[in-house]
Every structure is written in C-alpha cells, then in structure tokens.
A and B are shown apart, each in its own frame.
Chain A
C-alpha cells in the first residue's frame, strides 16, 4: 500500500519501519520496532495504525494487536503518553529504600495517579518493575534514561529540565 494523506503512519515513519526489514528473515519480526517508532512519534499506537502496520508487515491486524497488547508498554489512543514518560521503580531494591514513597509523593505533587498524565501534558507518571539500577535505589526512568538515588526534589528538577518532546 502506498502512503496517502489518509494514513495515520507518516511517510517518515514508514521509511524508518522499512529500514528494519533487511535485518530479519521475517516481516513479522519488525512488529516491535514498528510499534516503537509509532509510539515514540505519536505517544500512543492508534487503532488505525495497527491495521496499517499489519498491512506493511503482511499480517492480520489481530496478530499485531496480539503482540501489542501483550506488552503493557504501548498506549491506547484514548490514553496517550505526555511529552515525557516517568517510571518510578517499585521492585525490591527500590522498595527497601523508599521507591514506593517516592511514587506517592510524585503522584501528590503532580496531581495524577500512576498511569495518568499531568494537566500540562508534560509528564506521564507510571510505576515500573525493576529498572536495573539497583545500586542507585530509588531510581526512576525518564523516557529511556535511568536516574539513580532520586528524591522528590531531584525528580521534579528532572521534569523541569526536560524540554518538549521533540526538543530532547
């Protein structure tokens, strides 16, 4: 299918997705890379994009949806990510050093529950399982950069320093 103005997935995203094709012996293996490219740009994976990915990868839309829905990572179009995604680790090493309390403090300060986006659209707050920075517990993941030894103040500073989504 050629790209037309009716498509949800832009030509630029299509080009990026097609760039992954030579890496794998099957087109289906490009599912996760494609979903990452779409969500990074659109802050969610819209329903229409699932069908378009299926079309690009010669799959049935239900196959793409099956994979997408297995990972809690991808957001539905009704609950897109804000400009930044902030994960607060709640697993054992962080829990022992105040990770859960940090999440509650952030929730109160930002006025959102885990899973929700701040009113200004800047940050989506979520809990995470072990982020692999246990020597710096409690830690948070801002987009895909992990920061250790965090406090409420240091996380708020991280949020303040973060620019708009495309400015980072």
Chain B
C-alpha cells in the first residue's frame, strides 16, 4: 500500500509518534468525539455494519460480540484488551503499542462507549516493558486532557483505563484464561457458556478485544464504513454465512527471509506476494519448503500452496487452522520439518496450562515422540501415533475447554500429512538432530 493509504501504520514512523500532541494534530480522538455524540447502541451497530472481524486469531465479528452483552445491565461492564500477544511469530500488537499508543486508547474509548464499559484493563504480557511504559505515559496524557476519568467532555460517559501486566504465560491470551489471570488466579480457561459477554471479569459482563481490532475501530469511526469496506475481500456471494474479510491487516513475516518485518496491507494478499514483494525473498537464494500462515497454531502451507490468499477463509482452504494472527514464518528448503515440528511441540508442551488431560498429556507426548524420532529411535508407527494424539485433542474433537490444544495439534496434523515422505525418510534413515538446550538443562 502507498504510504498515503496507510491507516494503522500511518503514524508509526513519525517523530514522537507516541505523544498526544502529535496525535491530536493528526485528527486523533475525533472518532471518539463522534462516538460520544452517538447513542452507545448506534456505535455498536456502526462497527457491526463495517464487517470488522477480530484480529486476534479467531476472526469473530467484533460488533456482533459486543451485541451479546445483556441489554440494560445496571453495570459495571468491563472491557479487557487482549495485549498478551504470545503466538509464536506474532509481533504487530507490540509495534502498535510502542509506536502509536493513542490510536489504541482511542479504540478502547470508542469500544467502551459502545458497550457502556466503565473500566478497561489492558492485559499486557510482562515481556512488553517498552509497551508498558509507553501506554502508562499515554494514559496519563489522556487523564490530563480530560479524555479519561469522570464525565468525559461533559457527557454522562466515564471511563478508567488500567494496564495489568501478565507473568509470561501463553494461555493468558485465551480470553477466559486472561480474565482468570486478571482476577489474580491461575489462568485456567473457563468452560463456556457462560461467555464473557454474560459473565466475565469479576462475574460481570465483559468484552475482550485484541489490540489490532481496537485500532481498526478507531479508523472505522474516523473514516467510516465505506472506507473500511473499500479494502479487503467482500463476503462470498455463494456463502450466506461468510462475513468477508474487510479492512487492512498488519501482516508479519519472520524466519528465513531477507527482510523480516510487518506491513499494513489489504486483507487477501498471498503468502508468495508477502515473501517476494515485501520480505525480500527467501534468504541465501533458497526456496521456501513450508510457511506458517498465521502464527504457529495455524499449521503449515507447502510451497505449492503459497498463492493462497491470506484472508480469513484462505488458509482453511489448504487445510490450515485459519488466518490466525497473520504472522507468517518462512522455513527454507535446508531445514528439517522434524526439527521445526519438535520446536512447535516443545512450545505447546511448555505452555499447556494443565487443566484438561488430553492437552496436558497430549502436548507432552507429542514432544516426547518427536524427541524419540530425533534421537534415532523412531518407528513409522510413531507418525501414525502423532496423528492419533493430534486428532484426539482440542475443541474440535470436543475434549478440551479451550483452543490451545487445537493450535498444538494443527502443526502436527499438517506436518505429518503434507510432509510425510520427509518424516518417513528421517525415521528409516535413523537420522538424528541435537537439542542443545535439552543437553544443557537435562529436560525439555
């Protein structure tokens, strides 16, 4: 996209892009003022009509999520901002918070106006120290300008925003795990229903939205529905249930490319375009063997699948879990998929919260089976065993409370199905790989 077409990233390279003075000079908080002049339900309807879908991974329509809140609830209603960004390969929320905190704060304010929430907690992963300090400063500026606090701009709308720091646990990105953690408990996801909109933080109606989603809300109010729907992919006319993929998206590319980075592009760009036109191609003159389309949980695309458009529906058509966080990880042709899958399984075994047995045991056994394969002791039967374990865990087979298990299983399913000959050859040739960290600490 040309620089002049950018919305989410329009300000990130400006000097002092974090300061409120520059934000106001660029027309900032006009969207919030517009929302303040509207009835809350009208703001919800406006965002609903825009077609905005959540950017955190699941792609659930944002305005629809808000409309699940009980009508005429006496309050309090809470907003939780999911800033626990921890999906391997994902980093766009960090850039948004570090470079343009007021864009996010305005989105929070508009969303709280729409949902009648009077307190918003930004649940921020601890590792984002710079984001923490940037947001704290920006929130302070808002209170000083009268944009936060009691009776904002002389209206009946009051709002407080607090940053709540996590403690390095991936599961806190699951919205009910996040709420439990916010409440001071272990981050065990809750059985749903009730969904947070009915019973969330502190047992009150709660909305949980991702950072990038809320930044989109800011621009939808400032620029309008027509602008938002002029970008991206409209709904499939042959599928009445498809909400489409409207709006800009912050695509991230990391791994074996010459120029890793994050770009704002219309939803629907292909993986190949991202690699070749933006990320400078695969490094060292190599080709891509596999690509993670949207954060590790979404699985793998093969080289032959790289022309898949990365909209909400695209990755699913080639057997991936979904668009996820639109965080692409490129794996070159000199890299062993056995090693990549071991890394994936080790991550989920480490991050499973332990509440549901199929996930706690399954993630751990998948890692152990891959360890066995990597020490030369694997058998062809192990590949079927991996597939069997992966198929038995998650929301999809109905054996776990949350989707962490589906995200742990998906890379295994995709790798074994799409790269089976490589796994078979590895096992048959009794190839081995080292795990330098395991050698150091004696465990995974």
Find the B residue at minimum CB distance from A143.
B129
Please report the C-alpha to C-alpha distance between residue A100 and residue B436 in the assembled complex, in whole angstroms: 7
Interface residues in A86-116 (C-beta closer than 8 Å to B): 87, 90-93, 95-97, 100-101, 103-104, 107, 113-115
Find the A residue at minimum CB distance from B186.
A70
The 8 Å CB contact of B162, one of A23, A97, A141, is A23
Residues of B within 8 A of A93 (CB): 88-89, 254-255, 260, 329
Most chain A CB atoms below 10 A, which of B129, B164, B169, B343:
B343
Shortest Cβ gap from A85 to chain B (Å):
11
Find the A residue at minimum CB distance from B92.
A132
A144 pairs with B90, CB closer than 8 A: no
Residues of B within 8 A of A131 (CB): 127
Residues of B within 8 A of A136 (CB): 260
Residues of B within 8 A of A130 (CB): 86-90, 347
Residues of A within 8 A of B183 (CB): 26, 28-29
The 8 Å CB contact of B441, one of A33, A115, A134, is A115
A141 pairs with B90, CB closer than 8 A: no
How big is chain B's contact interface, by range?
35 or more
B202 pairs with A25, CB closer than 8 A: yes
Shortest Cβ gap from A82 to chain B (Å):
17
Residues of B within 8 A of A63 (CB): 185
Interface residues in B65-87 (C-beta closer than 8 Å to A): 76, 85-87
Shortest Cβ gap from B26 to chain A (Å):
25
Shortest Cβ gap from B337 to chain A (Å):
12
Stretch of A1-9, A71-79, A154-162 with 4 or more beta carbons under 8 angstroms from chain B: A71-79
The 8 Å CB contact of A134, one of B166, B186, B327, B340, is B327
Find the B residue at minimum CB distance from A104.
B436
Shortest Cβ gap from B350 to chain A (Å):
6
B169 pairs with A70, CB closer than 8 A: yes
Residues of A within 8 A of B185 (CB): 28, 31, 63, 66-67
A135 pairs with B262, CB closer than 8 A: yes
B292 pairs with A92, CB closer than 8 A: yes
Would you call A44 an interface residue if the criterion is a C-beta within 8 Å of the partner chain's C-beta atoms? Answer: no
Find the B residue at minimum CB distance from A69.
B186
Find the B residue at minimum CB distance from A149.
B260
A92 pairs with B186, CB closer than 8 A: no
Please report the C-alpha to C-alpha distance between residue A87 and residue B435 in the assembled complex, in whole angstroms: 18
Residues of A within 8 A of B165 (CB): 32-33, 36
Interface 0/1 of B249-264, CB less than 8 Å to A: 0001111100011100
Shortest Cβ gap from B143 to chain A (Å):
14
Shortest Cβ gap from A167 to chain B (Å):
17
Please report the C-alpha to C-alpha distance between residue A28 and residue B170 in the assembled complex, in whole angstroms: 21
Would you call B331 an interface residue if the criterion is a C-beta within 8 Å of the partner chain's C-beta atoms? Answer: yes
B436 pairs with A29, CB closer than 8 A: no
Residues of B within 8 A of A42 (CB): none
Shortest Cβ gap from A50 to chain B (Å):
13
Would you call B213 an interface residue if the criterion is a C-beta within 8 Å of the partner chain's C-beta atoms? Answer: no
Please report the C-alpha to C-alpha distance between residue A103 and residue B261 in the assembled complex, in whole angstroms: 23
A36 pairs with B167, CB closer than 8 A: yes
On whether A114 and B437 interact (CB within 8 A), knowing A74-B167, A92-B343, A132-B91, the answer reads yes
On whether A132 and B125 interact (CB within 8 A), knowing A32-B164, A103-B436, A114-B441, the answer reads yes
Shortest Cβ gap from B222 to chain A (Å):
27
Interface 0/1 of A10-54, CB less than 8 Å to B: 000000000000011110111111011000000000000000000
Would you call A122 an interface residue if the criterion is a C-beta within 8 Å of the partner chain's C-beta atoms? Answer: no
The 8 Å CB contact of B437, one of A33, A96, A127, is A127
Please report the C-alpha to C-alpha distance between residue A24 and residue B344 in the assembled complex, in whole angstroms: 36
Q: Which 9 A-B pairs have the closest CB atoms?
A: A144-B129, A31-B184, A70-B186, A134-B254, A71-B167, A28-B184, A93-B254, A73-B167, A130-B88
**15 A–B contacts, CB within 8 A, in A order:** A29-B202, A32-B184, A33-B165, A63-B185, A73-B169, A92-B296, A92-B344, A92-B347, A93-B89, A93-B254, A96-B329, A132-B125, A133-B91, A133-B94, A135-B254
Task: Write the residues of chain A forming the contact surface with B, with a CB cutoff of 8 angstroms.
Answer: 23-26, 28-33, 35-36, 57, 63, 66-67, 70-74, 87, 90-93, 95-97, 100-101, 103-104, 107, 113-115, 127-137, 141, 143-146
